[in-house]
Structure 1
Amino acid sequence: MTSTEAKSPDELRMPMAASPASAGLAWSLVEQRLICWGLGEDARYDARLILSELVANAVAVSPRGGCITVLCRRDEIGLAVGVADTDPGLPREPAPVTELRPEDLDLREENFDDNGGRGLVIVKALSTCCGVTPLPSGGKIVWARLRA
């Protein structure tokens, strides 16, 4: 599902399939809105990285065939991006950043793509603040604010 619904010219809400392919589609649609809002390339780049991490995390906890909702809002403080999913579990606080060495990674072919877990560290580093808002429906929105 890729319908785009704007609650106001300063807000974008997009229900999407909980699929890894949704990250690219979400970014394309959000970037067009950020360009219309006059955001510069640096702010759009940070928003892209944050949105990619949030979508990936939401997809990972969503059931097959499920749905996520990408949210983007501009206000007097800056820009907020978030992703809602139906999983009631809250993300774990990221571990402190340490130097990652090649020997810390499991490079076997069957585990090559499982060396992640640094997404929320990236979100925290690029945002002015971030958090989780539980939803009455049992899910949550994981969000981040950026200066724009």
Structure 2
Amino acid sequence: MTITATGDLIIPLLGTPSAVGLARTLAGARLNQWNCRHISDDALLIVSELVTNAARQTPHEEIRLQVSRDVGGIVVAVWDASPEIPQARPLPEVVPDDLGAADGSFEDAGGRGLPLVQALSSACGVTRDPKGGKWVWARLSP
């Protein structure tokens, strides 16, 4: 774990499911230090989604979480070595009859994280890293 001179948090993680909890814990502590409790729930959900996606793209390889702040707010960014750009799946319309779906379709919740990230952030995107891989990021306004 590195804390830069500007207070940014940079954490190398192993792309496993347990990385999500560790990332949330450390990001939450940093947000508390910055007195950003008012956006921490949204930020931690974004951390969970982006770290989960990176771990799925590059299982058991290094991923990196960066939590930064500037005058525009908080930026959560996650790097992984995969060149594949994430694509948001369209969200299906859910009607009350679907809630008891016996065919298991309601249980298929995968692929819905990026629309959540888009909804919770003021901006988000993907930036290719010149050294390889990509950064998937989201900005939360103060």
Name structure 1 gaps, 5 residues minimum: none
After superposition, residues 1-148 of structure 1 pair within 5 angstroms as 4-40=1-37, 42-63=38-59, 65-95=60-90, 97-100=91-94, 101-102=98-99, 107=104, 114-148=108-142
For 1:48 and 1:59, the matched residues in 2 are separated by: 16
For 1:59 and 1:104, the matched residues in 2 are separated by: 29
On the 8 A contact 2:128/2:134 being kept in 1, the answer is yes
State the SS of the aligned residue for 2:139. strand
For 1:7 and 1:105, the matched residues in 2 are separated by: 51
State the SS of the aligned residue for 2:4. strand
Relative to structure 1, the CA distance from residue 104 to residue 126 in structure 2 (aligned partners, 3 Å threshold; closer, same or farther) is: farther
State the SS of the aligned residue for 1:53. helix
Name structure 2 gaps, 5 residues minimum: none
- Equivalences, count: 138
Q: Give the deviation of 1:19 after TM superposition.
A: 0.7
Relative to structure 1, the CA distance from residue 105 to residue 116 in structure 2 (aligned partners, 3 Å threshold; closer, same or farther) is: farther
CA distances 1:71-106 after superposition (whole Å, capped 9, x unpaired):
1100011000011000000011442x4422347785
Identity of aligned residues (%): 40
Letter paired with 1:90? I
State the SS of the aligned residue for 1:10. coil
Relative to structure 1, the CA distance from residue 105 to residue 25 in structure 2 (aligned partners, 3 Å threshold; closer, same or farther) is: farther
Relative to the length of structure 2, the TM-score reads 0.88
Letter paired with 1:20? P
On the 8 A contact 2:16/2:55 being kept in 1, the answer is yes
For 2:114 and 2:76, the matched residues in 1 are separated by: 14
